[in-house]
Chains A and B, each alone.
Chain A
Amino acid sequence: MADVYKDFMELCAYEPQEIDKELPRLKKAFDRAGLTEEDVKRGQGRLVDLFQCDQFRGMRLFMGGWVKPFVDYILSKDEGKVRLFVELPQAFMSCFLGAAYYARKDIVSGLPTMTLMQVMGAIFAKIDNVLEWAEAGCMPPGLAHCGCNQLKIGVRGLGIMPTADLFMSCGAYCDEAAKADEALQQLFKERVYWLNRPQDEPWDEPVAQGRRLDAYAEGHIPLREMLSEVVGVEVTEEMLKQNFKNYVELYAENRKLAIVRAFADPQPLRGAAWASVWMQVMCNQGGGWQDYRMEAQRILHQEVQAKIDRGEGVIPKGAPRVMYAAFLPISTPEFGRVVEDAGVNLAGAEDLGTMAIDPVQMGAMMDLMPGTMLFALIWLANPYITVPGRAQGMIKAAAEFNLDGVLFCPHFSCRIYGSDFVMLKEAFRREMPELPVVIVDTDIYDRRYYNHEQARTRLESFAEVVKTAKAAKEAAKV
């Protein structure tokens, strides 16, 4: 039995001596999550088939970058750690809380639900019971409640993960996330701090300014004070800056690979693998995880580049290159595989054009602002707040990367990342009418919300459409 777990741990880049030390912890955490030996066997297969852990050490490190904190989160209360949590959509704020690492090392910070989704959803395909716990209570089925928010509640209700000592909530433009955080307060007496993220930007304001920035930054100050109180040591503006720098550095490294991958032909790294890497970077809590993830990122980059140089890919050379948005379904990584098996290269996500983080610009600001202000600025720079901002970014990326099509996979129930795809499609029709754009209903968290076989039919049709469009484009050039 132990070999199954050890093999699994090897695929997640645990070192041999680390396996001996960590195996009891991992088994304890997996038991609590209801993961059996059978699940672990199945997970091994998925790590290879969907996430290419047999081909890339970088991917093994990144999958370990989910599994190791998953174990830490589950055991954090037993082990007496200070727990500082956030959840989507404010992934970036994990880095704010993670700054506490520079004040005190025995903290566990980050996004436990996203981590759970990546481990129990993507690797083990076993999260329905967590969703059902929330459905039996305050988030009933049939009312388009978001799976991410249901998981946040279900995972505590089932006792898989403990409550936080401090939970940072803002909801940003997602009301349900903030409301679910109030449910955490009501159900589990969790300590929640809500940030007010102003949302009244004019449509032509790319980065929020003036009173919006001031008000948002002001809200971070009591959060820093509360954070200091919870960890028992002052978390300074300098610590925040250090972790902000960590975030920007990792993002910059990730961005380099994003660009390499976007032009890769043939494509060596599958869409699902890339989506998992990207999400981990977005959710990076910095602190004690910074060096690990920077190494993972650099190794993966080298490995992918080497394959490109050798002309090795998992998608045939010359395949149409497509951008997807917003995310590939985490709980069904097979979704991307269907498109790829039909001969389409999932070259990148919408963040090729819509992420407003400019590492150089951010680096220059670092010395000019307090840490709290930097965090406010970066989050306010998020383009999702307005449909035109998001549309412009995507259209720009489609042109710059010379893409052959766009695949919108809105996740059912998401009012922020999902509901505006009809408008975004219309924006493409106005600006790039020749580019095939298809919407395929899915869900990022909850596989029960869509039918994979129906999606397969549509994805295969989409593949044919983009191949034909690409052939026509090339013929026109000749």
Chain B
Amino acid sequence: MDAMEKLSEHLRSRPVELERSQKEGKKVVAYFLGDYVPTEIIHAAGAAPIGLVHGGDPEALDASTHAIFRYICPFARAQYGYWVLKNQKYFQMFDLLVSPTTCVNLRRTTDMYNFFTDKPIFKLGVPQPFDGDRAVNYFKGSLELMKEKMEGLTGNKVTDKKLREAIDLYRRMRDLLKKISELRKSPQPPITTTDFVWLNHAAHLADPKFMVETLDSLYQELSKTKGPERKAPRILVSGPNIAMGDYKVLDLIEDCGGMIVVEDIAEGVLFYWENVAPDGDPIAALTDRYLMKRPNCAFVRPIIDRHFDFIHNLAKDFAVDGVVWYQLRLCETWSIESYFIAEKLKKLDRPYPMLKLESEYDVSDAAQLKTRIETFVDALRVGSR
């Protein structure tokens, strides 16, 4: 896949390229994941949006221990740990960090940046309950403030025209990701989910125009290709997030003979499944997409029934045999949610088995995870739908 190779090359040179453009006055704006930060606004202000997508590294957790206790989610701790380690340039180079007020774990990470670094931070106010107009108005107000902040940072006015252009660019990116994703509905998917998740990670780091061109070429390539013929149980992976570098569970599922065909995670369907409306007030369109149309996030209250419906529909659309719930240990809201999703999947007329896995970026649990995944995949084979 030439397009993937070109993208890898682009990502390798991306930090250097960003540093160069910073010297020429361009601003780099980092943001925490979870799909609440409209990159369109950052792009429209002429800044480079960079998602802090890295994780999976126990060293980053160790590096955070001087600042926080262990019972904060490993992904959140790692987001600060990389700043301490200084081995990921993205964590050092940004001119502003946009931190959405989502889960308490990432809010604590924001506190660590505030307390131990001199990095400027913008807190993006996210309402937790789905309470209709109040939530919409509050989030819309937050996006207006973010727009002002970007204008102040870059000195560039974010006009409606620029914002619509940015929306259009990201619309194309999401459309292409969704088209590629849907190729996995085939019995012989032309792309593995590990590769597909990596593409989603790349979308948070790459130059968006380059990303769209790459995805376009890749889609052309993949739509003419068939994957290997395999008799493998088709699996949906659900959970809060899978960071760039945290591919352990995805790899183990494939190694154990499972075939992941769709992922219900922040760096997957959450990013591309729903798009921003191309017309009307652009801030209202962004509010609608980033707050109301998004499928899930466990800190939102209440969300379980809505999330279950989403998973169930995905499972039907992608002809799934079973669900693997993968979450990081100590992620408290997803842990509670997993119980109810599993119960609801069990009670369907045609139930879906669900395996819940937790990990903490620890290499030592791979063998235990493998045993559990193997057993699950074998059971799915026997009881294939």
Contacts and interface: CB of A to CB of B under 8 A. Distances in A.
Interface of A: 137-140, 143-146, 169, 171, 173-176, 178-183, 185-186, 192, 194-203, 211-212, 215, 218-219, 386-388, 410, 412-413, 415-416, 418-423, 426-427
A420 B111 contact: yes
Given A173-B107, A198-B125, A415-B72, A139 B336 contact: yes
Contact of B108 (A143, A388, A420): A420
Contacts of B333: 175-176, 179
28 contacts: A139-B339, A140-B335, A143-B329, A143-B330, A144-B71, A145-B336, A175-B104, A176-B104, A178-B128, A179-B298, A183-B339, A196-B131, A196-B135, A198-B101, A198-B127, A199-B101, A200-B124, A200-B125, A211-B138, A218-B134, A219-B134, A386-B111, A387-B111, A412-B71, A415-B71, A415-B108, A416-B104, A426-B67
Interface stretch (B200-208, B300-308, B314-322): B300-308
B361 to A, nearest CB: 15
Contacts of B114: 203, 387-388
B131 A418 contact: no
Contact of A183 (B107, B142, B336): B336
B71 A423 contact: no
Nearest to B298: A179
Contacts of A427: 115
Given A194-B129, A203-B114, A215-B138, 18 more contacts: A137-B339, A143-B330, A143-B335, A171-B301, A175-B332, A178-B301, A179-B332, A179-B333, A182-B304, A182-B336, A196-B127, A415-B104, A418-B71, A419-B68, A419-B69, A419-B71, A420-B111, A423-B111
Given A176-B333, A194-B131, A211 B141 contact: yes
A419 B131 contact: no
B358 interface: yes
Nearest to B101: A199
B71 A179 contact: no
Contacts of B108: 415, 419-420
A185 B301 CA distance: 11
B68 A215 contact: no
What 3 A-B pairs have minimum CB-CB distances, sorted nearest first?
A200-B125, A138-B339, A194-B129
Residue among B71, B107, B124 with max Cβ neighbours from chain A (10 Å): B71
B103 interface: yes
A348 B127 CA distance: 35
B355 to A, nearest CB: 14
Contacts of A412: 71
B277 interface: no
A197 B127 CA distance: 8
A415 to B, nearest CB: 4
Given A139-B336, A171-B301, A386-B111, A410 B69 contact: yes
A12 to B, nearest CB: 35
Given A196-B127, A211-B138, A415-B104, A145 B335 contact: yes
A97 to B, nearest CB: 18
A86 to B, nearest CB: 15
Given A199-B107, A422-B69, A183 B141 contact: no
A421 B69 contact: yes
Contacts of A202: 123
A124 to B, nearest CB: 27
Nearest to A153: B336
B112 interface: yes
Interface in B127-168: 127-129, 131, 134-135, 137-138, 141-142
Given A139-B336, A143-B358, A410-B69, A181 B125 contact: no
B308 to A, nearest CB: 10
Nearest to B67: A422
Contacts of B68: 419-420, 422-423
B115 A388 contact: yes
Contacts of A211: 138, 141
A432 B233 CA distance: 61
B273 interface: no
Given A138-B340, A196-B129, A410-B69, A182 B303 contact: yes
B79 interface: no
A136 B329 CA distance: 17
Contact of A194 (B112, B302, B340): B302
Interface of B: 66-69, 71-72, 101, 103-105, 107-108, 111-112, 114-116, 123-129, 131, 134-135, 137-138, 141-142, 298-299, 301-304, 329-330, 332-333, 335-337, 339-340, 358
A411 B322 CA distance: 38
B292 to A, nearest CB: 14
A179 B123 contact: no
B340 A413 contact: no
A418 B336 CA distance: 20
A415 B332 contact: yes
Contacts of A194: 128-129, 131, 301-302
A212 B135 CA distance: 12
B78 to A, nearest CB: 15
B143 to A, nearest CB: 12
Contacts of B142: 200
A387 B58 CA distance: 26
A145 B336 CA distance: 9
Contacts of B115: 387-388, 423, 426-427
Contacts of A182: 301-304, 336
A218 B131 CA distance: 11
B129 A413 contact: no
Contacts of B299: 175, 178-179
B101 to A, nearest CB: 4
A148 to B, nearest CB: 12
Nearest to B99: A200
Contacts of B105: 415
Contacts of B339: 137-139, 183
B332 A146 contact: yes
Nearest to A138: B339
Contacts of A195: 129
B295 to A, nearest CB: 16
Contact of A196 (B67, B72, B134, B358): B134
Nearest to A222: B131
Nearest to A212: B125
A416 B72 CA distance: 10
A139 B123 CA distance: 30
Nearest to A176: B332
Nearest to B305: A186
A180 B112 CA distance: 26
Nearest to A415: B104
A181 B127 CA distance: 17
Given A387-B114, A422-B67, A180 B336 contact: yes
Given A146-B332, A179-B332, A387-B111, A198 B138 contact: yes
Contacts of A171: 128, 301
A185 B336 CA distance: 13
Given A196-B131, A199-B125, A423 B112 contact: yes
